[in-house]
Amino acid sequence: MKKVLFIILFSFIYIGLQAQEGTSTFNFLKLPISSHAAALGGENVSVIEDDLTMAFQNPALLSCVADRTLNLNYMVYMDGVGVGSAAFSKVINDRSAWAVAAQYFGYGKMKQTDPENNILGEFSAKDMAFMGIYNYDLSDYWSGGVTAKMIYSKYEEYSSFAIGVDLGLNYYNENSDFSASIVFKNLGGQIVAYDEKHEKLPVDIQLGISKRLAHAPFRLSITMPMLNNWQSSYTTDGEKQKFGTILLNHFVFGLDFNPSDNFYISLGYNCRRANEMKIDGSSHWAGLTVGAGIQVKRIKFGASYAKYHSVGSSFLFNLAMTM
């Protein structure tokens, strides 16, 4: 049985790594569901908290979540686009837990036109994902997790279906309050394509570390996303970026201020977002993120704000309750 599971997981990794080049579909999977992760630059796989939404970032972090947690999330993304999700987790025993979740991405109504730009009516577009998460503590320091995803999109009469997995591994030393993780995200592929051409899932290999300072209420996080893609992108003037810029694009920095166990304020900076959204040499604060969270008895609330470019931003809200 272990050999069969190993072969299946290796196959997903191989397929995903082969799919790292070229365009991809289901890019809504790149967006954070966690307001805490969104506040830390939009990418974080290593923060150790009793926060079910962090398991979306890294399934190995489900080991930190309390039994029977219900989570509801909503994001206002760009120009009125709404993203909703819900999740529930259950502890199996001292070493394992599971969770289920659903995500909905609605683009609203759009005008349908013919090649001559005559308006024919309206159509809607949507993305959905259904997820199952399993976590197992390998030892007192190591935890592993897997997320299985069923992904569906429908744009007018075109639809697509895909399956994918996230694989995560986390090391956490409680004495030093140091955490390190590696995650393979969105391994898999389309089962049903929009047309004859099958597109790729947005594969993302991420490394991350988090460390709480010994004598101050701060925690620093550094995350390196997109380690499977080191292709050079071009600036607006058509020039290739220098290696230093390409390297910096793979860094996301986050800082937590934790004056108590029931409250946090977070700041983040996403280098890739800031660089790619520059206009006339200025990022216009793109890449900056901020957020906060509070717990009152069994209820937790988190909120974040992220700047994407000069005219686009997102607000993300999380509400969780231990039942």
Tokens of 281: 């040499």
Least reliable range by pLDDT among 51-55, 79-83, 129-133: 79-83
Residue with token string 């050999």: 3
| Closest to 317 (Cα-Cα) out of 88, 101, 32 | 32
- With a cut of 80, say whether residue 111 has pLDDT above it: no
pLDDT digits (tens, 9 = 90+) for 221-243: 999 999 998 875 555 555 677 88
- With a cut of 90, say whether residue 68 has pLDDT above it: yes
Average pLDDT over residues 281-299: 86
- With a cut of 50, say whether residue 2 has pLDDT above it: no
pLDDT digits (tens, 9 = 90+) for 195-230: 878 888 999 999 999 999 998 999 999 999 999 988
* Residue 18 pLDDT grade (very low, low, confident, very high; cuts 50, 70, 90): very low
Domain that holds residue 242: 2-322
In the chain, how many domains are there?
A: 1
- Cβ atoms 61, 48 nearer than 8 A: yes
CA angle 67, 69, 70 (to 5 degrees): 160
Average pLDDT over residues 266-291: 81
- With a cut of 80, say whether residue 15 has pLDDT above it: no
Residue 115: per-residue pLDDT: 75
- With a cut of 70, say whether residue 4 has pLDDT above it: no
- With a cut of 90, say whether residue 12 has pLDDT above it: no
- With a cut of 50, say whether residue 9 has pLDDT above it: no
Phi, psi (degrees; rounded to nearest 5) at 272: -65, -45
Residue 69: per-residue pLDDT: 98
How many helices, marked H, and strands, marked E, lie in the chain?
5, 14
Residue 231: per-residue pLDDT: 74
Across the chain, what does the average pLDDT equal?
87
* Residue 322 pLDDT grade (very low, low, confident, very high; cuts 50, 70, 90): very high
- Cβ atoms 54, 34 nearer than 8 A: yes
pLDDT digits (tens, 9 = 90+) for 248-276: 999 999 999 999 999 999 999 999 888 87
pLDDT digits (tens, 9 = 90+) for 143-180: 999 999 999 998 878 899 999 999 999 999 999 999 99
Q: What is the CATH number of the domain that holds 277?
A: 2.40.160.60
Residue 235: per-residue pLDDT: 57
Residue 11: per-residue pLDDT: 46
**Dist CA 183 CA 168 (whole Å):** 4
